[in-house]
Structure 1
Amino acid sequence: MTSTRPSRAPRTRRFLAALTATVALAAAVFGAGAAVAADRAGATSPPDEPSISFTAAPADGGVLAAGQPLTVSLSARNSTSLSVATGTVHLSTSARPLATRSDLRAWLEGDGAADRTDVALADTAMPGMAAGGTSVLTATVDGALFAGYAPGVYPLRAAYDSDGGGGIATSVVVIPGDPGTGALGVVVPITAPAIGTGLLDSEELTELTAARGALRVELDAVTGTSAILAVDPAIVAAIRVLGTKAPATATQWLDDLMGLPNPRFALQFADADLATQVAAGLKAPLAPTTLDSYMTASSFPAASSPTPQPSGSPDGSHNSNDSTGGIPTLADLTDVGADPGVVFWPATGTAGAEVVAADATQSTPTSPAITLIDSGALTTDDTPARAQAGDAQLLVYDADASTALGSAASATSSTDRQGALAAASAYAALAVAKAPGAPLLVAVDRSLERTDLRGAVIAAQQLGGRTATGLAQIAATPPVSVGLRAVAGDDSRADALGHLIADETALADFSSILATPEVLTAPERASMLQVLGNAWRLTPDRGASAFADHRAQTKKTLASVSITPSSSITLAATSAPLGFAVRNDLPWPVSLVLIATPGDARLVVQNTTPVEAGPEQTTRAKVPVQARVGSGESTLHLQLRSPTMVAIGDPVSFAVSVRAEWESVGLIVMAAIVGLMLVLGVVRTVTRRRRRALARRSDAAPEADPAEDASAADRSDDATDPVGAPVDRADPSDSERGGDA
Structure 2
Amino acid sequence: MTRSSRLPRLLSALAAAALSFAVVSSGLFSPGPLAAAAPLQTAHSAATPDGLVSVEVSPSDGGAVEQSSITSFGITLTNGTDDDLPAGSLSLAVTTARITGTAALDTWLDTSGADAATTPTGTTVVRTIDIPELIAGQQYVVSGLDFTPPALGFDDADAWGSYGVSAGYTAGDTAAGGRTALVWRSQGQPTAASVALVAPLTVPISYGGLLDADELTELTEDDGALTTQLDAYFGEQIALGIDPRIIASIRALGTRAPQGAVAWLARLEAAPNETFALQYGDAEPAVQAEAGLGQLMAPTSFDFALDVADFPAVQPTDTPTPTDTPTTDPDGVQPSPQTVPSPATATDGASPTATPSDGSTPTPSPSETPAQPVPTVPTMAELLEWSYTLPSIVWAGGAVSDADLSVFTASGGAVAMIDSDNTSTSGQTLRASATAGTTPTLLVDHGLADSLSAAASATTDSAFQNAIADVNARAAAIGTEGSTGGTVVAVLPRAVDAALPALGDTVNALRSLPATSRTPLASTLTEPPTAVTLGAMAPNDDRVSDVRVLLDDERLVTEFSSVLNDPELLTGRERATLLSSLAAGWLPTAEGWGAAVTAQQERTDTVLASVRVTDSSRINMVGGEVSLPFAVRNDLPYPVTVVMQASPSNGRLSISGSVTQEIAADSRATVLVPVQAQIGNGDATLRLQLFSTGGQAIGEQSFVGVNVRADWEGIGAIVLALLVALLFVSGVIRMVLSRRAKRRALAASAGVAPDDDERADGEPPVESSPGRRETNG
Query: Shared topology, TM-score over 0.5?
Result: yes
CA distance in 2, matches of 1:572, 1:51: 78
User: Kindly tell me: are residues 386 and 117 of structure 1, through their superposed partners in 2, closer, same or farther at Cα, counting changes over 3 Å?
Assistant: same
Give the match for residue 404 of structure 2.
355
The RMSD of aligned alpha carbons is 4.1
CA distance in 1, matches of 2:157, 2:770: 172
Q: Alignment partner of 2:560: what SS?
A: helix
Match of 2:159 among 150, 154, 160: 150
Answer with 676-685 or 324-333: which moved more.
Answer: 676-685
Question: Which amino acid letter does the alignment assign opposite residue 152 of structure 1?
Answer: G
CA distance in 2, matches of 1:555, 1:167: 51
1:354-393 aligned at under 5 Å gives the runs: 354-363=403-412, 369-380=414-425, 381=427, 382-393=429-440
Match of 2:459 among 397, 412, 418: 412
Give the match for residue 257 of structure 2.
246
Describe the superposition over 1:76-119 as per-residue Cα deviations: whole angstroms up to 9, x where unpaired: 3464887988x876544344211232221111123375353444
Give the C-alpha shift of residue 183 in structure 1: 4.8
CA distance in 2, matches of 1:78, 1:663: 89
CA distance in 2, matches of 1:717, 1:591: 84
Question: Which amino acid letter does the alignment assign opposite residue 74 of structure 1?
Answer: G
Give the C-alpha shift of residue 490 in structure 1: 1.6
Question: Which amino acid letter does the alignment assign opposite residue 456 of structure 2?
Answer: A
1:225-624 aligned at under 5 Å gives the runs: 225-302=236-313, 326-347=376-397, 349-363=398-412, 369-380=414-425, 381=427, 382-433=429-480, 434-435=482-483, 437-446=485-494, 447-448=496-497, 450-463=500-513, 465-624=515-674
User: Kindly tell me: are residues 383 and 716 of structure 1, through their superposed partners in 2, closer, same or farther at Cα, counting changes over 3 Å?
Assistant: farther
Q: Alignment partner of 1:114: what SS?
A: coil
State yes or no: 1:116 paired with 2:165: no
Give the C-alpha shift of residue 568 in structure 1: 4.3
Give the match for residue 103 of structure 1.
104
Question: Which amino acid letter does the alignment assign opposite residue 290 of structure 1?
Answer: S
TM score, norm. by length of structure 2: 0.74
Question: Which amino acid letter does the alignment assign opposite residue 418 of structure 1?
Answer: Q
Match of 2:721 among 657, 671, 676: 671
Question: Which amino acid letter does the alignment assign opposite residue 209 of structure 1?
Answer: T
Question: Which amino acid letter does the alignment assign opposite residue 639 of structure 2?
Answer: P
Describe the superposition over 1:314-336 as per-residue Cα deviations: whole angstroms up to 9, x where unpaired: xxxxxxxxxx9942222332345
CA distance in 2, matches of 1:335, 1:494: 31
Give the C-alpha shift of residue 125 in structure 1: 5.9
Question: Which amino acid letter does the alignment assign opposite residue 431 of structure 1?
Answer: I
Question: Which amino acid letter does the alignment assign opposite residue 149 of structure 2?
Answer: G
Question: Which amino acid letter does the alignment assign opposite residue 154 of structure 1?
Answer: Y
CA distance in 1, matches of 2:768, 2:747: 22
1:41-80 aligned at under 5 Å gives the runs: 53-65=54-66, 67-77=67-77, 79=79
CA distance in 1, matches of 2:272, 2:123: 49
Give the C-alpha shift of residue 542 in structure 1: 2.9
Q: Alignment partner of 1:76: what SS?
A: strand
Give the match for residue 32 of structure 2.
none
CA distance in 1, matches of 2:76, 2:556: 59
Describe the superposition over 1:23-58 as per-residue Cα deviations: whole angstroms up to 9, x where unpaired: xxxxxxxxxxxxxxxxxxxxxxxx999786433233
Answer with 505-514 or 606-615: which moved more.
Answer: 606-615
Q: Alignment partner of 1:418: what SS?
A: helix
State yes or no: 1:191 paired with 2:240: no
User: Kindly tell me: are residues 738 and 512 of structure 1, through their superposed partners in 2, closer, same or farther at Cα, counting changes over 3 Å?
Assistant: farther
User: Kindly tell me: are residues 541 and 645 of structure 1, through their superposed partners in 2, closer, same or farther at Cα, counting changes over 3 Å?
Assistant: same
Give the match for residue 37 of structure 1.
none
Question: Which amino acid letter does the alignment assign opposite residue 558 of structure 2?
Answer: A
Give the match for residue 174 of structure 1.
183
Conserved 8 A contact 2:301-2:571: no
User: Kindly tell me: are residues 627 and 254 of structure 1, through their superposed partners in 2, closer, same or farther at Cα, counting changes over 3 Å?
Assistant: same
CA distance in 2, matches of 1:715, 1:465: 146
Question: Which amino acid letter does the alignment assign opposite residue 691 of structure 2?
Answer: R
Give the C-alpha shift of residue 442 in structure 1: 0.7
User: Kindly tell me: are residues 48 and 615 of structure 1, through their superposed partners in 2, closer, same or farther at Cα, counting changes over 3 Å?
Assistant: closer
CA distance in 1, matches of 2:415, 2:555: 30
CA distance in 1, matches of 2:165, 2:402: 38
Conserved 8 A contact 1:56-1:72: no
Q: Alignment partner of 2:628: what SS?
A: strand
CA distance in 2, matches of 1:6, 1:285: 47
TM score, norm. by length of structure 1: 0.77
CA distance in 1, matches of 2:164, 2:599: 50
Describe the superposition over 1:210-247 as per-residue Cα deviations: whole angstroms up to 9, x where unpaired: 22222222222212322111121112222222222223
Conserved 8 A contact 1:409-1:456: yes
Question: Which amino acid letter does the alignment assign opposite residue 121 of structure 2?
Answer: R
CA distance in 1, matches of 2:679, 2:524: 86
Give the C-alpha shift of residue 594 in structure 1: 2.0
CA distance in 1, matches of 2:208, 2:735: 82
Question: Which amino acid letter does the alignment assign opposite residue 667 of structure 1?
Answer: A
Q: Alignment partner of 2:671: what SS?
A: strand
Give the C-alpha shift of residue 570 in structure 1: 4.2
State yes or no: 1:650 paired with 2:731: no
Conserved 8 A contact 2:402-2:437: no
Give the C-alpha shift of residue 739 in structure 1: 9.8
Describe the superposition over 1:138-176 as per-residue Cα deviations: whole angstroms up to 9, x where unpaired: 333333532211222222334567899886442222234
More helix by share: 1
CA distance in 1, matches of 2:236, 2:768: 140
User: Kindly tell me: are residues 2 and 402 of structure 1, through their superposed partners in 2, closer, same or farther at Cα, counting changes over 3 Å?
Assistant: closer
Q: Alignment partner of 1:383: what SS?
A: coil
User: Kindly tell me: are residues 4 and 681 of structure 1, through their superposed partners in 2, closer, same or farther at Cα, counting changes over 3 Å?
Assistant: closer
User: Kindly tell me: are residues 669 and 469 of structure 1, through their superposed partners in 2, closer, same or farther at Cα, counting changes over 3 Å?
Assistant: same
Give the C-alpha shift of residue 124 in structure 1: 7.1
Conserved 8 A contact 1:345-1:373: yes
Describe the superposition over 1:575-625 as per-residue Cα deviations: whole angstroms up to 9, x where unpaired: 333333333333322212222334444443212222223333332222333
CA distance in 2, matches of 1:255, 1:237: 13
Give the match for residue 350 of structure 2.
none
CA distance in 1, matches of 2:247, 2:750: 109
Give the C-alpha shift of residue 518 in structure 1: 1.3
CA distance in 1, matches of 2:553, 2:699: 14
User: Kindly tell me: are residues 604 and 142 of structure 1, through their superposed partners in 2, closer, same or farther at Cα, counting changes over 3 Å?
Assistant: closer
User: Kindly tell me: are residues 467 and 658 of structure 1, through their superposed partners in 2, closer, same or farther at Cα, counting changes over 3 Å?
Assistant: same
CA distance in 1, matches of 2:606, 2:174: 60
CA distance in 2, matches of 1:735, 1:179: 166
CA distance in 1, matches of 2:582, 2:45: 45
Answer with 333-342 or 514-523: which moved more.
Answer: 333-342
